Amino acid sequence: MSDTLGTDTADGRQSQGTPGAGDAATSVPPAPPRAAAHRRGRARMRLEIAVLSAPAIITFLAFVIFPVALAAYYGFYQWKGYGEPTDWVGLNNYKLILTDPAFHDVLWHNGLILVLSLVIQGPLAIVLALLLNQKIRGRSTIRVLIFVPYIISEVIVGTGWSLMLQSNGAGNDLLHRIGLGSLEADWIADPDLAIWTLMAIITWKYIGFAVILMLAGLQSIPDEIFEAAQIDGASYWQIQRRITLPLLGPTIRIWAFLSIIGSLQLFDLVYIIWGQYVSGTAGTSTMAIYMLAQGRNAGNYGYGSAVAVVMFVISLIVALIYQRFVLRRDLRGAVTEGTV
Amino acid sequence: MSATTTISRMSPAPEPKAPTGRRNNRDKPQKWGSHVTYFIALLFVGVCIAPVLYIVLGGFRTNSQITTDPAALPRPWVVGNYIDILKSTVFWGEFANSLIVAITSTAGIVALGLMVSFVIARYDFKLKGAMYSLFAAGLMFPMVIAITPLYLVIKDLGLVDNLLGVIIPQIAFGLPTTVIILVPFLRAIPNEIEEAAAIDGMSRLGFFFRMVVPLSLPGVVTVGILGFVGSWNNYLLPLYVLNSQANYTLPLGVQVFSSQYSTDTAKVLAFTSLAMLPALIFFSIFEKRIVGGLTGAVKG
């Protein structure tokens, strides 16, 4: 078939032989005898498209897009979660959110977590990935083991860590045993320490993911480039700085994007550790926790929905800024043209 | 090693032997680092694994052991905590719920995702780009943001405290990643194969089931694993949707169990260990695929 058409762009539809690109189809009209078959083929193609894509699109619209739209709608009401919302309050919920000192707190926490995640995990992951990218014994075992924290659910991680970090837990006992008893502290309940405890746990949980991504990125760099640099007499550090890091750029930028979005959405870990074992959230509360507390727990769904919208807008703005200025090159075409 | 690598650098002539020497070359300049490397690697692995070991070993201790010596090894080892949990219907009920939810969600994610990705990758129509963008944008709608209204939608559908109320939204939220990963896989299937199938009289749908599904298997497996692990670990949605213990999934069960038995730390640790075991087993079986899938996702 490709012989008769003499082109690879044919998308393989046997009966009509329409070239792949839609535009091209209009510029190269099919031979007249084929027109009827062509029309039948098109109808059939439409049907197939509809049948194959409808389930996914309907599910996606109904359970992802529609709820987000609904949040925007409920956000304008003072709504208790039952019956039709009637108590229109306009932008009042948003005014309350933006002027609530508690919201400023959670926003600050999310921002701090975002920045610290990037600053701590990024360089650490790159260094560890460079180390592990060498041919050392047991490399694949190491790769499996460092990924374990990422695989275990937040609930289990949170439960385990909170038991270890209680004031009479294993963490303090260990410090005591190795002669660092003076460092013992109430890691979870002390409001000054809590955010750093959270950062330590976040780093522990997600660093493996970052390292694995960076390793994957490193391994996609062709060896020939390193060989060429070595032949030219570049030192190890020159190679890392001038070749590895730039070529690892796309991986780093994508990881950072995932990390940023994750930081803004953080919920499970904080809720499990601080919601369960400590009264109050000891200075670690996040936007998502605020949303749950104000919305569902207080029965004020209108307000909760407005918080969700604020979170969404913040995520969207951050994501758009990031894509515009950082990811532009990596994602060009991926989202807009559908060519990955 | 230094001898052979030096030779291969000094004399570029024996090129055909390159495949074995290629990777060695990269390590050579920092050969001094090998001991340091091992040390740091082991330290890193230790930090990653120690808390997990603490949970598992803690289940083998008694509460008095934990109280007097929180950071010690079990002495003596007791298996009673684990046996108690393994005998409890609560644990197995929650395990079964998790399994049902994870398997059904995964099947849904893979089936719906594969179908729509096939359309996006291999059909030409006006809305193709919009369809892809819709799902790509969905990556920015994490469940946390939509959870309040999502709960209301689930409530209106009468699916509160019903496993379907967890499964269907999980499928919906799993679709963006699935589409992003699968579309390149499906696009990479050579047109010649499709043409050959067409010449042999295979319909497009026949081609889909008989050729596309098998050929995109690596992508499908990756997507399936991501869906399974994500579903198995999901906490937020069950927290909102499920409210009777008979319907709890394991993450919810762990949380409830640990607050119910907050004084029985050893038992909580045993419960927690057993709850993480399935994910760990699943992960160790498919580890290569997971890592490979992530690589693919990043490249995409």
The tokens for A194 are: 């809590």
Q: What is the DSSP string of A136-190?
A: -TTHHHHHHHHTHHHHS-HHHHHHHHHHHHSTTSHHHHHHHHTT-GGG---TTT-
3-class secondary structure, B157: coil
Q: Do B183 and A74 touch (CB under 8 A)?
A: no
B-contacting residues of A 218-277, CB under 8 Å? 219-220, 223, 226-227, 230-231, 235-236, 239, 250-251, 254-255, 261, 265, 267-268, 272, 276
Residue of B nearest to A59 (CA): B172
Q: With helix as H, strand as E and coil as C, how does A225-276 read?
A: HHHHHHHCCCCHHHHHHHHHHHHHHHHHHHHHHHHHHHHHHCCHHHHHHHHH
pLDDT of residue A34: 59
Q: How far apart are the C-alpha atoms of B14 and B16, rounded to whole Å?
A: 6
pLDDT of residue B69: 76
Which residue's entry shows tokens 């109808």? A43
* pTM for this prediction: 0.80
The tokens for B22 are: 């290629």
3-class secondary structure, A88: strand
Q: Do A159 and B183 touch (CB under 8 A)?
A: no
Nearest to A131 by CA among A189, A202, A218: A218
Q: Do A160 and B199 touch (CB under 8 A)?
A: no
The tokens for A319 are: 């994501």
Percent of chain B with pLDDT over 90: 33
The tokens for B261 are: 């038995």
pLDDT of residue B216: 82
- ipTM confidence: 0.80
Name which of B4, B6, B26 to mutate to probe chain A: the one with the most chain A Cβ atoms within 10 A of its Cβ.
Answer: B26
Q: How far apart are the C-alpha atoms of A37 and A34, rounded to whole Å?
A: 5
Per-residue pLDDT of chain B (300 residues; tens, 9 = 90+): 333 333 333 333 333 443 444 444 444 444 556 788 888 889 999 999 999 999 999 889 888 888 777 777 888 888 888 999 999 999 999 999 999 999 999 999 999 999 999 999 888 888 888 999 898 888 777 888 888 889 888 988 999 999 999 999 999 999 998 998 888 888 888 888 888 888 888 877 788 788 888 888 878 888 888 888 889 999 999 999 999 889 999 999 999 998 888 888 889 999 999 998 888 888 888 777 666 655 554 443
Over residues B197-254, the pLDDT tens digits come to 888 888 777 887 888 888 888 788 888 888 888 899 999 999 999 998 899 999 999 9
Per-residue pLDDT of chain A (340 residues; tens, 9 = 90+): 333 333 333 343 333 433 333 444 444 444 455 566 677 778 888 888 899 999 999 999 999 999 888 888 888 988 887 777 778 888 888 999 999 998 999 999 999 999 999 999 999 999 999 888 887 778 878 888 888 898 888 999 998 998 888 888 888 888 888 888 778 888 888 888 889 999 999 999 999 989 988 888 888 788 888 888 888 888 888 888 888 888 888 888 888 988 998 899 899 999 988 876 665 566 888 999 998 888 878 888 889 889 989 998 998 888 888 877 776 665 544 443 333 3
Q: Which residues contact A37 (CB under 8 A, 6 or more apart)?
A: A15, A16
